[in-house]
Amino acid sequence: MSLNAGPTPLASLLQADDASARLAGLLDSATDAIVTMDAGQRIVQYNRAAERIFGWSCEQMLGQPLHRLIPAQFQQVHSDHVKRFAATGVTSRHMGGTALVHGVRASGEQFPLDASISQIDTSDGKLFTVILRDVTEKVRIEQDKALLVARLSALVESAMDAIISVNDAQHIVLYNRAAESLFGYSRQQAMGQSLDMLIPQRFRSRHQAHVRRFATTHVTSRRAGDATVLWGLRASGEEFPMEASISQVDADSGKLFTVILRDITERVRSQEAVRRFAVQAHAAIESDKTRVARELHDELAQSLTALKMDAIWMRDNLPHNVQSVAAKIDDMLSILDATVGATRRIAADLRPLLLDDLGLVSAIQWLVQSFSQRTGVACELVVDEELELAEPYATAVFRIVQESLANVAKHAKATRVRVDVERTFDAVLLKVNDNGQGFATQAPRKPASLGLMGLRERAELLRGSVQIDSQPGEGTRIAVNIPLDEPGANA
Ligand SMILES: Nc1ncnc2c1ncn2[C@@H]1O[C@H](COP(=O)(O)OP(=O)(O)O)[C@@H](O)[C@H]1O
Ligand SMILES: [Mg+2]
């Protein structure tokens, strides 16, 4: 709309002087509809934007009642409104308030309007001017937004997981129904409170540091504490393990963090049950092995030894003319020697009775010695002679050293090995380092290779961890850390 686009509807109508022509031009260049009516609510001025918005031309509307622009059902309200306005004598005010004003176009279509009204007294009586803005688009956007918000909150409300949002100050600004049942606080109790109320005291500062770090990394979402389980605090004071993921968005009012939380009490409980079962299964296997080893050693080896004694007696007491029988008996004796040796070895491999009879240190010393004898590889053992460990720790340590040394013998081509066993206040640390050819730890495992896996399993069943550090040409370092927190662990 331009001032130079020929006589405006208003200007041509008023046939006025320069000043009113300029005013009319100004009105016509406005993007809002500007309509003036007299005290009888008849239109006396109607600009270009009004033509565009309502679809009536200026010529059609001049002299018409304002009612023509208002839907029938709002007409009464509107004229009351104007009358009241006229009576108060206030010169201008906004009509919209919270309730929208409605207009009707020439096409009959109704639409929402933002309106303000002003009045002046002239010699011809009061004139009212309304400024009207078509807010169809704005209202539509707001409705879409409201719908989206409604859908989103329905989603949040129906979620099985607790969903909680906190602002920059870590105050709760969103708290869904699942959060209510998880934590036992109602929404009213939780909203506006610090997130701290849902976290056990001893984790609070760590948690805050975590959120701050997360805020500065600008990552938009991540799972908090991937490996470690987080702990929540219910209204009842009960603590429980949970799994969490956290996301952040920059809102107008600052950063907003949203955490999604899931109670994993049941999962943790069943994992713990499986773990206990596996520990017991290992103990049962070991005790079976112990029994068989002891029988082999005590019964079989001893009977064989007795047999050997008898054979020696027979050989020594033979009449002189039976040389061929003596040779036969010598053969029997060497077979018996080998069988006794094999029986002892099988028994020891099954379960070294030393472990039960003389303790872990002696058993490991024996293991290291026989490794060196068998392979010719020098093996240094660093262990406190006084070290003692209860079951199942002693067996676990022994088996881990056993498997590690078996691997060195089988794969490493090493010339030196060092075994370290150290007990700290609350853990046992175990290292087996060799200077052999090493291997690619990331390479896929051969299906038949269960040694390292079993080793890891043994450690993890006791809540321990295993670190295997190796590269082709670099030797191999196995480090195991097992916490000694089981009841009765401190032998
Ligand atoms: N000390 C070591 N030196 C070199 N390679 C090793 C060593 N320990 C393990 N490995 C490699 O890791 C693989 C997996 O070992 P393991 O799980 O004990 O299975 P297995 O001994 O039955 O092959 C071995 O096949 C070997 O290639
Ligand atoms: Mg192996």
The fraction of the chain above a pLDDT of 70, given in percent, is: 90
Q: What is the mean pLDDT of residues 343-372?
A: 89
pLDDT of residue 181: 95
Rounded to the nearest 5 percent, the helix, strand and coil shares of the chain are: 50, 25, 25
Give the end of a domain, one of 210, 236, 263. 263
CA angle (18, 21, 22) in 5-degree steps: 85
The fraction of the chain above a pLDDT of 90, given in percent, is: 41
**Which ligand 1 atom minimizes the distance to the CA of 453?**
17
Asked whether residue 347 falls in the same domain as residue 390, the answer is: no
How does pLDDT run across 432-453, given as a tens digit for each residue? 999 999 999 888 777 777 788 8
Q: Which of 236, 224, 228, 227 is nearest to 261 (CA)?
A: 224
pLDDT of residue 369: 94
Asked whether residue 392 falls in the same domain as residue 465, the answer is: yes
Structural domain includes residue 386: yes
Look at the chain and count its residues. Answer: 491
Sequence-separated (6 or more) residues with CB below 8 Å from residue 332? 311
Asked whether residue 246 falls in the same domain as residue 299, the answer is: no
DSSP at 464: -
Per DSSP, the chain holds a count of helices (H) and strands (E) of: 16, 17
Paired residues of 224 in beta bridges: 244
pLDDT band at 276 (very low <50, low <70, confident <90, very high): confident
Beta strands at 427-434 and 101-104: parallel, antiparallel or unpaired: unpaired
**How far is Cα 257 from Cα 415, in angstroms, rounded to an integer?**
56
Sequence-separated (6 or more) residues with CB below 8 Å from residue 45? 10, 27, 34, 35, 36, 62, 129
Structural domain includes residue 21: no
Nearest protein CA to atom 16 of ligand 1, as residue: 451
Asked whether residue 491 falls in the same domain as residue 361, the answer is: yes
Residue 106 Cβ contacting ligand 1 at under 6 Å: no
pLDDT of residue 287: 87
Which one of the ligands is nearest to 454 CA? Answer: 1
Q: Can you point out the beta strands (E) in 138-253?
A: 162-167, 172-175, 221-224, 230-233, 239-251
Residue 438 Cβ contacting ligand 1 at under 6 Å: yes
Residue 286 Cβ contacting ligand 1 at under 6 Å: no
**Which ligand 1 atom minimizes the distance to the CA of 441?**
12
Q: Where residue 249 sits, what CATH number does that domain have? A: 3.30.450.20
pLDDT of residue 441: 86
**How far is Cα 404 from Cα 454, in angstroms, rounded to an integer?**
11
Asked whether residue 379 falls in the same domain as residue 474, the answer is: yes
Q: Give the other-Cβ count within 10 Å of 394's Cβ.
A: 21
CA of 447 to the centre of ligand 1 (A): 12
CA of 406 to the centre of ligand 2 (A): 6
Structural domain includes residue 180: yes
Cα-trace Rg, the chain:
46
pLDDT at 228 over 70: no
Distances (CA, A) of 319 to 258, 314, 315, 323: 98, 10, 9, 9
Q: Is 320 helix (H, G, I), strand (E, B) or coil?
A: coil
Residue 434 Cβ contacting ligand 1 at under 6 Å: yes
Burial of 417 (0-12, 13-18, 19+ CB in 10 A): buried
Structural domain includes residue 3: no
CA of 184 to the centre of ligand 2 (A): 51
**How far is Cα 360 from Cα 386, in angstroms, rounded to an integer?**
10
Nearest protein CA to atom 6 of ligand 1, as residue: 411
Residue 456 Cβ contacting ligand 1 at under 6 Å: no
Residue 441 Cβ contacting ligand 1 at under 6 Å: no
Max Cα–Cα distance, the chain, nearest Å: 164
Give the end of a domain, one of 329, 351, 373. 351
Structural domain includes residue 146: no
**How far is Cα 475 from Cα 434, in angstroms, rounded to an integer?**
5
Asked whether residue 442 falls in the same domain as residue 485, the answer is: yes
**How far is Cα 405 from Cα 227, in angstroms, rounded to an integer?**
30
pLDDT of residue 490: 41
pLDDT at 135 over 50: yes
**Which ligand 1 atom minimizes the distance to the CA of 454?**
17
**Which ligand 1 atom minimizes the distance to the CA of 406?**
21
Pocket test for ligand 1, best of 375, 417, 433, 439 (most atoms within 8 A of CB): 439
Nearest protein CA to atom 26 of ligand 1, as residue: 411
Which one of the ligands is nearest to 405 CA? Answer: 1
CA of 482 to the centre of ligand 1 (A): 22
Asked whether residue 166 falls in the same domain as residue 129, the answer is: no
Helices 301-316 and 323-350, interaxial angle, to 10°?
A: 160
Structural domain includes residue 13: no
With beta carbons less than 8 A apart as the criterion, state whether 405 and 417 touch.
yes
Count the domains in the chain.
4
Q: Which of 18, 9, 88 is nearest to 44 (CA)?
A: 9
pLDDT band at 407 (very low <50, low <70, confident <90, very high): very high
pLDDT at 486 over 80: no
**How far is Cα 41 from Cα 128, in angstroms, rounded to an integer?**
8
Q: What is the mean pLDDT of residues 305-330?
A: 85
Residue 476 Cβ contacting ligand 1 at under 6 Å: yes
Asked whether residue 65 falls in the same domain as residue 39, the answer is: yes
Residue 436 Cβ contacting ligand 1 at under 6 Å: yes
**How far is Cα 332 from Cα 375, in angstroms, rounded to an integer?**
29
Structural domain includes residue 410: yes
CB-based contacts of 370-376 (< 8 A; 24+ apart in sequence): 371/405, 371/408, 371/409, 371/417, 374/409, 375/408, 375/409
Asked whether residue 392 falls in the same domain as residue 453, the answer is: yes
Give the end of a domain, one of 230, 263, 296. 263
pLDDT at 14 over 80: no
With beta carbons less than 8 A apart as the criterion, state whether 233 and 197 touch.
yes
Residue 246 belongs to domain spanning: 159-263
**How far is Cα 76 from Cα 98, in angstroms, rounded to an integer?**
19
pTM above the 0.75 mark? no
Residue 145, φ and ψ in degrees, nearest 5 = -65, -45
**How far is Cα 431 from Cα 404, in angstroms, rounded to an integer?**
9
Residue 97 tokens read as 């308030």
Which one of the ligands is nearest to 409 CA? Answer: 1
Nearest protein CA to atom 25 of ligand 1, as residue: 449
Structural domain includes residue 9: no
Residue 408 Cβ contacting ligand 1 at under 6 Å: yes
What is the residue-averaged pLDDT of the chain? 86
The type of residue at 166 is V
Q: Is 174 helix (H, G, I), strand (E, B) or coil?
A: strand
pLDDT of residue 94: 67
Higher pLDDT, 213 or 48: 48
pLDDT of residue 250: 84
Sign of the dihedral defined by the CA atoms of residues 318, 319, 324, 327, in that order: positive
